[in-house]
Chains A and B, each alone.
Chain A
Amino acid sequence: AQKITQTQPGMFVQEKEAVTLDCTYDTSDPSYGLFWYKQPSSGEMIFLIYQGSYDQQNATEGRYSLNFQKARKSANLVISASQLGDSAMYFCAMREIDFGNEKLTFGTGTRLTIIP
């Protein structure tokens, strides 16, 4: 079974609209972390936002917010007021402890294209 599932291979969104990128995860550990990264064509993996499994409130970072629904094992990224520079690949990732070792698993990514 996939640990991290991103069901949207690609999305097209009009500039200035809000966009939601889906991410579901699978783990039996109580302690884990969820990350979203943006990867532009240059290749760099840019950290966007983090949500810890024990965090009571949804994480927010500027225009980015994470809609964390623990019971549904869902960690969707919401980008408000999208901009042309938001066009990139977006990866959801989960970090957990596996037999004492940290393990980071990535989803397959969503390619977001912002249309002017």
Chain B
Amino acid sequence: KAGVTQTPRYLIKTRGQQVTLSCSPISGHRSVSWYQQTPGQGLQFLFEYFSETQRNKGNFPGRFSGRQFSNSRSEMNVSTLELGDSALYLCASSSGGGANTGELFFGEGSRLTVL
């Protein structure tokens, strides 16, 4: 069973640009959630998609957006990049079956550097 795949693994952008990150969940999983990890703020929840609908959203500005396709693959987009957006972006895949289910797996992350 293939794991969670995130692309690209590394990327460098300049301020003002936009970026799109992709996440392919484990086959059969319908929930994809995104997290931002920085040394100062730790792991912060961005949003979660389930069956193509955004089900939950963290406290990030509107520059951060996402979507999910019918095959459960998800993309997140960050527009008008700022230096503070430099981070490791992690995607998590789960069946979406509720809080008391044990399946929650992460990809290797996309490390974004904004210059």
> Which A residues are within 8 Å of any B CB, using their own CB?
29, 31-33, 35, 37, 42-47, 50, 52-54, 91, 95-98, 101-106, 108-109
Contacting pair A44 B109 (CB below 8 A): yes
Q: Is B98 an interface residue (CB 8 A)?
A: yes
Contacting pair B88 A43 (CB below 8 A): yes
B102 to chain A: which residues have CB within 8 Å?
Answer: 33, 35, 50, 52
Q: Which of B56, B100, B109, B111 contacts A53 (CB 8 A)?
A: B100
Measured between alpha carbons, how far is A54 from B33 in the docked complex, in Å?
Answer: 24
Measured between alpha carbons, how far is A91 from B43 in the docked complex, in Å?
Answer: 10
Contacting pair B100 A54 (CB below 8 A): yes
Q: Given known contacts A102-B55, A102-B96, what 20 new A-B pairs fall within 8 Å (CB)? A: A31-B98, A42-B108, A43-B111, A44-B106, A44-B107, A45-B92, A46-B106, A47-B104, A47-B106, A52-B100, A52-B102, A96-B99, A97-B98, A97-B99, A101-B56, A102-B31, A102-B48, A102-B56, A102-B98, A108-B42
Measured between alpha carbons, how far is A6 from B103 in the docked complex, in Å?
Answer: 22
What are 19 residue pairs bridging A and B, where the CB atoms are less than 8 Å apart in the complex? A31-B98, A33-B101, A33-B104, A42-B108, A43-B111, A44-B108, A44-B109, A46-B106, A47-B104, A52-B100, A52-B101, A54-B100, A95-B99, A97-B98, A98-B56, A102-B33, A102-B55, A103-B56, A106-B43
- Size class of the B contact interface (CB-based, 8 Å): 20 to 34
Contacting pair A33 B100 (CB below 8 A): yes
Contacting pair B45 A104 (CB below 8 A): yes
Measured between alpha carbons, how far is A83 from B88 in the docked complex, in Å?
Answer: 26
Measured between alpha carbons, how far is A104 from B105 in the docked complex, in Å?
Answer: 12
Interface of B is mostly: strand
Interface residues of B in 1-48 (CB under 8 A from A): 31, 33, 35, 42-43, 45, 48
B109 to chain A: which residues have CB within 8 Å?
Answer: 43-45
Distance in Å: Cβ of B28 to nearest Cβ of chain A: 16
